[in-house]
Amino acid sequence: MNRKCWLGSRNGFTLVEILLVVVIIGVLAAMVIPNIAGRGEDARRAAAQADIDANLSAALDMYEMDNGKYPTTEQGLQALVTEPASSPVPRNWKGSYLKKKKVPQDPWGNTYVYRSPGMHNPDEYDLFSYGSDGIESSDDITNW
């Protein structure tokens, strides 16, 4: 029994047809990959900014509403999870102020830097991540 391919009497693709498809896929990949390549770092920066602007800031504001002031630099962000024993001891601590009951790390695995009173926000606090390089530089994600 002799069957015919739906393309006609041919039984397969020629080398030229296969190479043409490979070239087309290569051209498409060359156009798409550069647009996707830097997105991982952008996503980490956005996650750090969200932590600083929303998650940690909201927890610090709730702490301040309960206790009349923000935790000191020495008490740090840990004051949002466990009641500080160092002075000034909070008078109305109602924590944990963070849902997961632990201080998050930034997307690069480093701790967020907290200073109160802040150098940039003297009436409140400075909260920032050193970013991907882990040192103070122009890539820092800040609340000022």
Residue tagged 């956005």 (tokens)? 46
* 120-138 pLDDT per residue, tens: 999 999 999 999 888 899 8
pTM given for the model: 0.72
For the chain, list the domains and their CATH numbers: 39-142 (3.30.700.10)
What would the two tokens of residue 106 be? 């930034």
* 53-110 pLDDT per residue, tens: 999 999 999 999 999 999 999 999 999 999 999 999 999 999 799 989 999 999 999 9
Q: Is-cis flag, bond preceding 137, omega within 30?
A: no
What is the DSSP secondary structure assignment for residue 105, as one 8-state letter? B
Residue tagged 């929303």 (tokens)? 54
Q: Which of 1, 103, 120 is nearest to 55 (CA)?
A: 103
